[in-house]
């Protein structure tokens, strides 16, 4: 029988999207825990989308519904995530000249 450690939290993931022309703020496009979280992370890696680990932010974002715009209280924290992504994209473009996102996590 396979027992889980009661102190081990399941893996969680939340995917966000933002189109500054069409959206007032980023929105949740996918979320899940366990196998669903693993699939979200795998898809991000396949599409070379940067990943950032922030358990506290994931906990807050996972309370939102799919396609729900993030609340104003999370703007600052999410802005940091998007700034990180743009930085990674810019650095990757300088090195590779293709303008695509590079994965930042090798799991």
Domain ranges of the chain: 12-96
Helices (H), 33-96: 35-46, 55-61, 75-96
Q: pLDDT band at 91, cuts 50/70/90?
A: confident
| 3 backbone dihedrals φ, ψ, rounded to 5° | -105, 140
Amino acid 98: pLDDT: 59
Percent of the chain with pLDDT over 70: 83
Q: Which residues make Cβ contacts (< 8 Å) with residue 15, sequence separation at least 6?
A: 28, 29, 30, 31, 40, 44
12-96 fold: name from scop (3.40.1690)
């Amino acid at each position: 029988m396979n027992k889980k450690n009661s102190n081990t939290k399941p893996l969680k993931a939340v995917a966000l999207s933002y189109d500054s022309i069409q959206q007032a703020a980023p929105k949740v496009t996918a979320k899940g825990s366990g196998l669903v979280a693993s699939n979200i992370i795998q898809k991000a890696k396949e599409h070379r989308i940067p990943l950032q680990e922030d358990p506290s932010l994931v906990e807050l974002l996972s309370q939102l519904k799919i396609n729900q715009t993030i609340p104003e209280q999370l703007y600052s924290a999410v802005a940091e995530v998007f700034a990180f992504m743009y930085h990674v994209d810019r650095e990757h473009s300088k090195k590779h000249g293709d303008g695509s996102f590079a994965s930042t996590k090798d799991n």
